[in-house]
Structure 1
Amino acid sequence: MKRKHRKKHEDHVDESWLIPYADILTLLLALFIVLFAASEVDSEKFQKISESFNNELQGGTGVLEKQAVIEPFDEPFKDTTLIPQIQQDKPAKVNEEEMSPQQDQIELRELQKKIDSYIKAKGLSPRIVTELTSKGLLFKIKEGVLYSSGSADISQQARITVIELSNFLVTDPPRNIFIEGHTDNVPTYSGVFPSNWELSAARAINFMKILLENNNLDPKKFSATGYGEYQPTTSNDTALGRAENRRVEVLISSYE
């Protein structure tokens, strides 16, 4: 009886599907690498990757070689059409250092006009006078407006005047304010003030304290000094001259 020969080899399994499968995996890998490179927005790296995959997959030129130009995002996105025009009509604030001497004098002159208008409206002329100097705007408050003879106490009516004057000292940027007390050469016989030094200093300080009740004023910009009888504006030989010398002066300093 003739024996049947066993098949030495089983039927070979068809593996042709592995080729397109491998190609798909390779293309997917290339796609992810390209997307990663594009997300980094590095045109130099993108060019190198493009050339490498074109050479490997297509033997030279291909679609990756003609990639779109990608501009690096060196600056944040700016679209002026979407930016609201905030405070377009508001003038730019001028710093103290940026203000010219001419502009400084113009501002002080305008402030002088406002103070003079107030003085006229309140009937305080000529007991309060203003003067524009090289150091700033000076206004002098003469005897009888603030204090009684030999006293540093400000009357209630005078207090209202000082509070109203404080509003003219509010400037932007703030200016230095110098307050000076002056007397005549007649010695004081008050037990409270041994000399005209103390009397003039107390008058300047009391005046300054009322000004600084205005919360819009910066105390760091203020100083008060008593000069006694030693800086007269006129002779003390007459009663009229002595009355002129008894005064409080307020200097609104220029920015220079």
Structure 2
Amino acid sequence: MSRKKTIQEVNEGSPDWLNTYGDMVTLLLTFFVLLFSMSTIDIAKFKAFINSIEGSSGILSGGSSIGDGSEVGNGINQLSNLDIYFDKTNEEEIQLKTQEELKQMHSDLKNYIQENNLEEEINVTLGNYYVVLTFKDGVLFDSGKAELKPEAIEILNKIGTQLSKYADNRIRFEGHTDNRPINTIRFPSNWELSAARAIAVAKYYIDELGFDPKQFSTEGFGEYAPIADNNTEEGRAKNRRVEIKILSKYVSYAVETEALQ
């Protein structure tokens, strides 16, 4: 009797271990792609993405996620410092943009003032949240008055040409005096005088040069924000001044107001 040949079955396709290996490699690749994408992530979009998947329904319409949908959400919520990270990142980005904008603005204004021969009338300084134009004593107003001098008009017009380039920036007008008291019917104290001078400059730009009043604010500091010693005539002259502060457009108004107190 002849022997029957045993027929060995040949499995078609890849071995099981190769399928498992392939899945693992694919998952690793996906993981590293995800890490790379998060390194340049748009924070606002990522937060919106997280909000969209927390407790979400299934991908297909009519389906529901396995469980209560909190697995992914809880994984994110376990990162207790996530909001702090976002806030810190946003703050750093805003700070960087603010400094870049202000440095460029300071350079442009300084060059503009030099080109127009206004160095004797105006100083330009750089602050943390703004660039300051300081009109020296006697440039805009006579002593004890809040009416613009005729020769001040030309100076304000020249500065207005440059200010018009900052339509997206808030601009603050500040009046300052020395500590010598004033007591007139119109100006019972230095507060009223300093405030009236700040308003006079702002109103000129609004009424005569067509600036948007929503862009402006005014303040009178009187004698209470000196930059020099009031015990000397030179110091008092420095304290009698009008300042125009051009605020960075990257800083919120609330933060600007708090920072300038």
Note whether the superposition's TM-score is higher than 0.5: yes
Q: Tell whether 2:111 aligns with 1:113.
A: no
> 1:174 and 1:143 mapped to 2: Cα distance?
29
Q: State the partner residue of 1:14.
A: none
2:170 counterpart letter in structure 1? N
> 2:185 and 2:116 mapped to 1: Cα distance?
35
Shift in CA distance, 117/229, structure 1 to aligned 2, threshold 3 Å: same
Contact 2:167 2:215 in 1 (8 A): no
- RMSD of the TM alignment (CA)? 2.1
More helix by share: 2
Q: Tell whether 2:178 aligns with 1:178.
A: no
Count the aligned residue pairs: 158
Unaligned 5+ runs, structure 1: 1-96
Contact 1:111 1:168 in 2 (8 A): no
SS state of the match for residue 133, structure 2? strand
Shift in CA distance, 112/236, structure 1 to aligned 2, threshold 3 Å: same
Q: State the partner residue of 1:243.
A: 237
Query: Could you report, residue by residue, the CA deviation over 1:142-189 in whole angstroms, capped at 9, with x for unpaired residues?
Result: 101101111111112201211221222234661111111000000125
Aligned pairs (5 A) from 1:1-256: 100-171=94-165, 174-212=168-206, 213-215=208-210, 217-254=211-248, 255-256=250-251
TM-score in terms of structure 1 length = 0.57
> 1:103 and 1:150 mapped to 2: Cα distance?
41
SS state of the match for residue 107, structure 1? helix
Shift in CA distance, 172/189, structure 1 to aligned 2, threshold 3 Å: closer
Range with greater deviation from structure 2 (163-172 or 192-201): 163-172
User: Looking at CA atoms only, which structure, 1 or 2, has the larger radius of gyration?
Assistant: 1
> 1:138 and 1:124 mapped to 2: Cα distance?
15
Contact 1:137 1:251 in 2 (8 A): yes
Query: Could you report, residue by residue, the CA deviation over 1:31-67 in whole angstroms, capped at 9, with x for unpaired residues?
Result: xxxxxxxxxxxxxxxxxxxxxxxxxxxxxxxxxxxxx
Contact 2:98 2:129 in 1 (8 A): no
Identity of aligned residues (%): 41
Moved beyond 3 Å, runs of 4+: none
SS state of the match for residue 224, structure 1? strand
- Following superposition, the deviation at residue 127 of structure 1 comes to 3.2
